[in-house]
Amino acid sequence: MSKITTVLFDYDGTLMDTNEIIIESWQYTFRTLTGKEGEVGKILETFGEPLRATMAKFFPHHDLEEAVDIYRSYQSTFYKKLIQMFPGTPELISQLKERGYKLAIVTSRLRPTTIEGLEKYGLLDKFDYIVTADDTAKHKPDPEPALIALERLNSRPEEAIMVGDSMFDMGCGRNAGTTTVMVNWAMAADAQKEKWQVYPPDYSIDRPEDLFQVIEQIENMQ
């Protein structure tokens, strides 16, 4: 087994607690377009999926770009106020960086709000590369986002870990050939558990610091 040199992180629900802003953005869109709120469980099942793909499923009879604009108008107003880092994730990033790991963000979120969130918590300079929905023609669970990050970091899949909270993250990492690690602290992790068998994670962790134990286990495998 190769030594782990690289860690790819999803953003929403993995490092950043964006649950409230995402759910409220969806509910605002549902109220605007249908006059009633959507089912929270159904919304959670889509976490990690590209926005337009979900919009097309939820609102097949509405103009796609109008729906996207409604959603993003709400997010742009309240995003920075409502987001917060999950406990222990800033420390995990700092410790990984200090130990010399190459770090990247691989997210289906657009670049401006990804950067805004990382800057809010002083973490932007901790990442060697950031792949967002703006940078790829294909999206999770397709391997392209992870493969772009690995290429830019000059890393091989077998020496990389993909850390995320959704089946889309696990699919992206698995399809790219990386080890996959599911975090158990996000709402999407519970909501999508029944669908994990599509892309089962190699490992799961309950606390950010548990990632170091996973890395040790991987490197001790012969």
Residue positions annotated with a catalytic role: 10
CA 207, chain centre distance (Å):
16
DSSP secondary structure string for all residues of 48-62: TS-HHHHHHHH-TTS
Element (H, E) at 183: strand 179-183
Nearest CA among 221, 176, 181 for reference residue 203 = 181
- Per DSSP, 202 falls in state S
Residue burial 127-161, b: 16+ Cβ < 10 Å; e: rest: bbbbbbbebbeebbbbbbbbbbbbeebebebebbb
- Per DSSP, 102 falls in state E
- Output helix, strand, coil percentages for the chain, rounded to the nearest 5: 55, 15, 30
Residues β-bridged to residue 9: 105, 163
